[in-house]
């Protein structure tokens, strides 16, 4: 099996499927270990929750503002995730206070750090939540306590910037939401292949930086 020339611990993957699921072959080759961790993260979500709400989001650094030094390291994505998880936990506590049967939700995630030529580092993420607790992202610029606002507030906290300055820095790609089920009923379409193919983009070998002391890929544990 071919190894990545910039990191020989990583194996390149050229096939069109992984574990029986399609990958975005036109974006290959992929890193086999990253595909395996993506697959495991999705599987753990489905083992815990019979329905999973998954979505893609991209996070960018601003070009026109001075940022703290940590913003150029992976500490910034760690801060984002801690803030986002705290917001989900708080929301579930509020839901439980209103209804003691309200569903909880663990936050699982996959992220990749990429550096395109001439751009600052940016992050692509897949986030997975309990599909019985969450169903939609909500609307941008809504006053509601919705998922999009939580994402903006968490990235604002991570960067140390006002939410008002984040225009264009939190991007929800087209067709970003996937609702997958552990048990597929008769007549129900299995969305897992679509989700895995879309998320395989995070596992491609190109546009990642190797050897700069910053991991280019990570997943939630457990």
Q: What's this model's pTM, rounded to 2 decimal places?
A: 0.93
Domain boundaries, the chain: 3-219
Which residue shows structure tokens 């395996």?
36
Contact (CB, 8 A) for 24 and 197 = yes
In tens, the pLDDT along 97-111 reads 999 999 999 999 999
In tens, the pLDDT along 18-77 reads 999 999 999 999 999 999 999 999 999 999 999 999 999 999 999 888 899 999 999 999
Mean pLDDT of 206-221: 79
Tokens linked to 119: 């751009």
With residues binned 3-state (H G I as helix, E B as strand, rest as coil), the percentages for the chain, rounded to 5, are 35, 25, 40
């Amino acid at each position: 099996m071919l190894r990545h020339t910039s990191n020989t611990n990583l194996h390149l993957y050229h096939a069109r499927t992984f574990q029986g699921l399609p990958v975005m072959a036109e974006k290959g080759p992929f890193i086999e270990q990253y595909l395996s961790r993506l697959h495991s993260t999705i599987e753990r979500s489905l083992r815990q929750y019979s329905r999973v709400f998954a979505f893609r989001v991209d996070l960018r650094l601003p070009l026109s503002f001075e940022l703290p030094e940590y913003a150029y390291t992976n500490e910034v994505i760690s801060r984002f995730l801690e803030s986002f998880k705290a917001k989900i936990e708080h929301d579930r506590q509020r839901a439980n206070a209103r209804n003691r049967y309200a569903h909880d939700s663990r936050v699982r995630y996959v992220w990749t750090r990429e550096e395109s030529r001439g751009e600052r580092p940016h992050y692509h993420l897949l986030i997975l939540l309990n599909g019985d607790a969450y169903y939609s992202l909500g609307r941008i610029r809504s006053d509601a306590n919705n998922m999009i606002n939580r994402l903006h507030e968490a990235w604002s906290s991570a960067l140390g910037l006002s939410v008002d300055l984040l225009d264009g820095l939190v991007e929800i790609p087209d067709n970003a939401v996937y609702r997958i089920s552990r048990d597929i009923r008769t007549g129900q379409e299995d969305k897992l292949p679509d989700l895995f193919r879309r998320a395989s983009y995070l596992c491609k070998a190109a546009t990642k930086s190797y050897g700069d002391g910053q991991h280019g890929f990570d997943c939630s544990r457990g």
